[in-house]
């Protein structure tokens, strides 16, 4: 199971849970992770803070 698959399953069970997909891949195969907030590795503390702020502010 990939991280994108895990995230999708978790969100299916817990729709209000916000997920950030942290990945080192430039492109995910087969469109995995579509619709998820994404943070590319390596990332800085500032980029992490921005991603957290973005998902915290989003409505589901």
Question: What is the per-residue pLDDT for 33?
Answer: 62
For 12-57, what is each residue's pLDDT tens digit?
999 999 999 888 766 655 566 667 888 888 999 999 999 999 998 8
Contacts for 5-8: CB closer than 8 Å, 24+ residues apart: 5/32, 7/33, 7/36, 8/36
What residue segments make up the domains of the chain, in order of their start?
A: 3-57
Cα–Cα distance list, 19 to 34, 46 (Å)? 12, 18
User: What pLDDT is recorded for position 28?
Assistant: 58
* pLDDT at position 9: 92
Q: How many CA atoms lie within 13 A of 45 on its CB side?
A: 0
- Note the pLDDT of residue 31: 61
pLDDT for the residue 59: 66
Higher pLDDT, 14 or 4: 14
Angle at 22 between CA 18 and CA 25, to 5 degrees: 140
């Amino acid at each position: 199971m990939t991280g994108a698959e895990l995230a999708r399953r978790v969100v299916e069970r817990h729709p209000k849970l916000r997920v950030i997909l942290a990945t080192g891949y430039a492109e995910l195969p087969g469109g995995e992770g579509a619709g998820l907030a994404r943070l590319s590795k390596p990332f800085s503390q500032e980029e992490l803070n921005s991603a957290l702020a973005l998902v915290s502010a989003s409505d589901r």
